[in-house]
Amino acid sequence: MRHSSPMPAALPAAVLLALSLAACTQADAPKTPAEVAKAEHQKRVADEIAMTLQACSYEGEQLRVDPARLDGKAPANCDQMVDRIMDYTGLPKNFVVTAGPVPNALAVIMLDKQRVPQRVIAFNPEFISNVTSATGGDPWAPISIMAHEIGHHLSGHTITAGGSRPEIELEADKFSGYVLYKMGAPLADSTKAILAMGSPTEQPTHPARDRRAAAITQGWQEACRQAGTTDCSSGSGTADASGSAPPPPRMVKVSLPAPAANAIPFKYGRFVVDETGKLDADKLGELDKKLYDLANTQGLELALLVVNDLHGMTAEEYAWAMMRQLRIGKLDLGNGGVFVLAPNQHTAGVAMAPGVAKQLEFHQTAKQLQDWLDFAWTPERCMGADGCGSATELLMTTMDRAMKWAGEVKWEIRFQNIEDVIAYSNERRAERKQGRKWDDKLDQTLGSLVRFSGTVTELDPEPEFNRVNEATIKDGRWRAVLVKTDQDREVTLYMQPQTPGVMPSGPLQVGKQYTFTGELKSNGQFTTDQGVLQGNPGLWLFSYDALQ
């Protein structure tokens, strides 16, 4: 998903494109095969746009959003509320705010005029008064709902055509509680909206309100513990409801939550954590700002965790556990990386989501971090009374190198299905046959991000020419998965073994339908004496999400 400033023309353009394509399909029947193919392609694109215009309300009702009724201008009080919440998240904004006839507020993904998915938060113009009335005048109720919707987008939840799922709703609820504590909300007020407006029973897309209130409580208490408070069973947060108090500084010594496989993940709001308190706080503050700017401009999230305890794990296992639990990176793009230093165990490890792993494949980040520990964590340096001043500077250099290499990807969906990749490649080839020279910016599709839906047909298939590349899977760092797209084309996905552990949908299952996002490895086309041979397109799989 692209991280960018709001684009006022994006939503109307998506509407016009959808309507114009739909109109094309209603014209007189095409006469030639080329016209038939073009009409079918236009209808498919219109259907894809329509599919994206679905969302889930806060209460769990599945909705189909009419983009023509989202006017692109949010009420001033709602806009101010969003800005205020974002001040306390520690994360860059990655969504556009608009308004329309929705129940209260919801998160949705729509396509802009370039057919690039854009994250949108849509308000009912009467949002604040409606929610305040429903909760007996509680001023924190609308803020808790808005923080929930913001949590969806900051976490990279895909919000696919089937609506939402209980797992990601609990993530957004926990994030809401986390932010509300930092904003100063009492615990009781943080859960009031969901207890008043949530469903008392489990729904296909949303948990029952008691479970959701428990998730909000977990997030609130985690923020409380992070602030160093000893009793986090109740009470108020760190600011006040007027919003006059500034957010607390990001660079303070905190303790990370213990990794747990059954813990609800949530967006932690930090890029640097030093549990030891030994590293230079000012230099870490500079690094934190660099990592924030990298997330804001490139859409890439990297975190450095200097920890006291690995909880019986290896450094790499701990990094993977915390990438999931702290939801580092956006789920839908696989653009997160966690660098772990464990001085007490004198070991280092990294976890890199697939997109980052491809960029840092030859960077040897874990070795460089281990080399830093060997040099710095000695009685003469970091373990001394003066701390890690000069050694911290050296660590910053190591991180700068990783940021440079990993930041070269353009984290933006270019193609919305595999057929668009094939059609685009064929069109550019036809142009070159007519005499146009190769233009790298125009002709190169490899490395593009593609999002499509399909059904898993085979896990761990055997190597086969034009189907599964033996060299890619032979060392075990990547495994192959075969998928049949909705257009009945077979695609080969190459997936890291650790990826299922960070996906809310769990391990891929044969026969089940998903949306997939990946980087194009090959369009599957090979030029032979007989012409172009079409094999399986191949992608480095970044993420997936089960369709209802």
Cα(42)–Cα(45) distance, rounded to whole angstroms? 5
pLDDT in tens, 90-148: 999 988 888 877 777 888 877 666 666 778 888 888 888 888 888 888 999 999 999 99
The C-alpha angle 350, 354, 358, rounded to 5 degrees, equals 85
Residues 367 and 436 both lie in one domain: no
Q: How confident is the model at residue 48 (pLDDT cuts 50, 70, 90)?
A: very low
Is 312 domain-assigned? Answer: yes
Alpha carbon 253 to its chain centroid, in Å, reads 26
In the chain, % of residues over pLDDT 70? 80
Is 242 in a helix, a strand, or coil? coil
Is 235 domain-assigned? Answer: no
Q: How high is the pLDDT of residue 387?
A: 73
Residues 125 and 192 both lie in one domain: yes
Residue 325, domain CATH = 3.10.310.50
Query: Residue 323's closest CA among 144, 498, 191?
Result: 498
Among residues 356, 381, 406, the one where a domain terminates is 406
Residues 47 and 196 both lie in one domain: yes
pLDDT in tens, 443-472: 999 988 898 999 999 999 999 988 999 999
Q: How high is the pLDDT of residue 63?
A: 56
SS (H, E, C) 170-213: HHHHHHHHHHHHHHCCCHHHHCHHHHHHCCCCCCCCCCCHHHHH
Q: How confident is the model at residue 245 (pLDDT cuts 50, 70, 90)?
A: very low
Residues 374 and 490 both lie in one domain: no
Is 256 domain-assigned? Answer: no
If one counts the domains in the chain, the total is: 3
Q: Which two tokens stand for residue 256?
A: 């990370």
Provide the residue range defining the domain that includes 129: 10-226
Is 251 domain-assigned? Answer: no
Q: How confident is the model at residue 6 (pLDDT cuts 50, 70, 90)?
A: very low
Is 259 domain-assigned? Answer: no
Per the CB < 8 A criterion, the answer to whether 145 and 193 are in contact is yes
Whether residue 368 has pLDDT greater than 90: yes
Using CB atoms within 10 A of its CB, is residue 349 exposed (0-12), middle (13-18) or buried (19+)? buried
Provide Rg for the chain, Cα atoms: 24
DSSP string, 295-364: HHHH--EEEEEE-S--TTS-HHHHHHHHHHHTT-S-TTTT-EEEEEEEGGGTEEEEEE-HHHHHHTTTT-
Residues 517 and 538 both lie in one domain: yes
Is 401 domain-assigned? Answer: yes
Among residues 195, 226, 257, the one where a domain terminates is 226
In the block, residue with structure tokens 């007020």:
189
Is 384 domain-assigned? Answer: yes
Q: How high is the pLDDT of residue 40?
A: 55
Residue 537, domain CATH = 2.40.50.140
Is 267 domain-assigned? Answer: no
Instruction: Return phi, psi of residue 299, to 5°.
Output: 70, 25
Burial 487-525 (b: 16+ CB within 10 A, else e): eebbbbbbbbebbeebbbbeebeeeebbbbbbbbbbbbb
Residues 358 and 429 both lie in one domain: no
Q: How high is the pLDDT of residue 52?
A: 43
Residues 167 and 100 both lie in one domain: yes
Task: Tell me which amino acid residue 78 is.
Answer: C
Residues 348 and 497 both lie in one domain: no
Q: How high is the pLDDT of residue 522?
A: 93
Residues 433 and 402 both lie in one domain: no
Per the CB < 8 A criterion, the answer to whether 535 and 490 are in contact is no
Q: How high is the pLDDT of residue 141?
A: 92
Among residues 226, 253, 286, the one where a domain terminates is 226
Q: Which is higher by pLDDT, 438 or 51?
A: 438
Query: Residue 181's closest CA among 214, 154, 216, 150?
Result: 216
Residues 398 and 423 both lie in one domain: no
pLDDT in tens, 329-356: 888 777 889 999 999 999 999 998 877 8
Residues 172 and 133 both lie in one domain: yes
Residues 187 and 130 both lie in one domain: yes
Cα(89)–Cα(295) distance, rounded to whole angstroms? 13
Query: Which pTM was predicted?
Result: 0.79
Average of per-residue pLDDT across 225-252: 65
Q: Which two tokens stand for residue 505?
A: 């949908």
